[in-house]
Amino acid sequence: MDFSAAELAGILNGNIEGNREVKVTRISKIEEAEEGSLSFLANPAYTHYIYTTKASIVLVNKSFKPESSLKTTIIKVDDAYSSLAKLLELYEKSKPIKKGISALAFISENVKKGENIYVGEFAYIGTNCIIGNNVLIYPQAYIGDNVVIEDDSIIYPGAKIYANCKIGKSCIIHSGVVIGADGFGFSPQTEKNYRKIAQIGNVIVEDDVEIGANTTIDRATMGSTIIKKGVKLDNLIQIAHNVAIGENTVVAAQAGVAGSSKVGSNCMIGGQVGISGHLNIGNNVKMAAQAGVGANVKDDEIIMGSPAFAASKYKKTYVHFRNLDTIVRRIDELEKQIKLLNNKE
């Protein structure tokens, strides 16, 4: 990476205040940046750093107005965070792209391979698979029989994709992900033990989905577990059998969705949220971290708590909860006074 302020402003359609010719070779946090670094200011909590940072260039929102002189060159853009994301994407694309098939990889003879693919050492690709153009399959990945991986997707080291699953275009599957393992299906028996129910479905991951490290998505009992277009799943998430996650929904780490629940589009689900089985979650729903969801949720609701309910009501209720000890003592005192009054009568 080697850009001048003028070049960056051109890429980002920004306005420069300071030295147009100053150059940067790396990207750093505003509080840690050294000379030659590009940084950004998007969170107001970090505003004070812009007056002391050693960064050569800082991206700021167009609304930013310095309260004192700056030692750094600033580039004013519509959205500093989005502009940084654009630059990081350009930087990532500038890295050399791996190509070729390692002699130490195993690929079945009847696999259909696209152009410009990469298959690393000790990767395994089973029978009747279809691998699209520009797909990257890193070392020790496992691709089961009849799997389809469409164009421009990346399968990182150690990911496992079981038989008959489908991965769409431009997906990113991180290390340790397991897609298509058996759903948790067991039938209670009269002997108080359990009989396994065969899980004969698959998992369908649509286009532009990213799945974080060590996340697991179970195959359907019948039909498909579906992760729709644009979904972003963090690390360490469990998606059970026959679940559907709607378009552009984001889920933070350690969340779990139990079997057959349907989550709508454009939802935001916080860390450690638990969603019970066979529920319907509407579109545009927001769930605070550690929410325990045991009932259907309508469109556009914001919920928190366990059991979860409307965030506005939860916050009011929580005020009383924090004062519960005081309230109980007051009630006890009132009961004593009432008892004394009754005795006098």
**CA distances (Å), 158 to each of 113, 124, 175, 217, 267, in order?**
20, 10, 5, 15, 29
Residue ranges covered by each domain of the chain: 3-94, 100-312, 316-344
> Tokens representing 75?
């580039």
Q: Annotate 189-235 with DSSP letters as a single string.
A: -TTS-EEEPP---EEEE-TT-EE-TT-EEEPPSSSEEEE-TT-EE-S
Is the previous residue joined to 96 through a cis bond, with omega within 30 degrees of 0? no
Bridge partners (DSSP) of residue 77 are 61
> pLDDT at position 74, please?
96
pTM: 0.86
> Tokens representing 244?
């559907």
278 annotated active-site: no
Same CATH fold, 100-312 and 3-94? Answer: no
> Tokens representing 147?
């799997």
Q: 127 φ, ψ to 5°?
A: -70, 150
**CA distances (Å), 28 to each of 1, 70, 74, in order?**
12, 18, 15
Catalytic residue among 48, 174, 241, 278: 241
| Fold exhibited by the domain 100-312 | UDP N-Acetylglucosamine Acyltransferase; domain 1 (2.160.10)
State the CATH architecture for 3-94: 3-Layer(aba) Sandwich (3.40)
Query: Which regions of the chain are under pLDDT 50?
Result: none
Cα separation, 199 vs 223, whole angstroms? 10
Entry field: residues in the chain? 345
Cα separation, 96 vs 139, whole angstroms? 17
Q: Which of 236, 200, 247, 193 is nearest to 219 (CA)?
A: 200
> pLDDT at position 327, please?
87
Cα separation, 38 vs 11, whole angstroms? 14
Cα separation, 204 vs 147, whole angstroms? 10
> pLDDT at position 345, please?
66
Residue 230 gets the label, from left (phi > 0), alpha (psi -120 to 50) or beta, of: left
> pLDDT at position 198, please?
95
Bridge partners (DSSP) of residue 143 are 125, 161
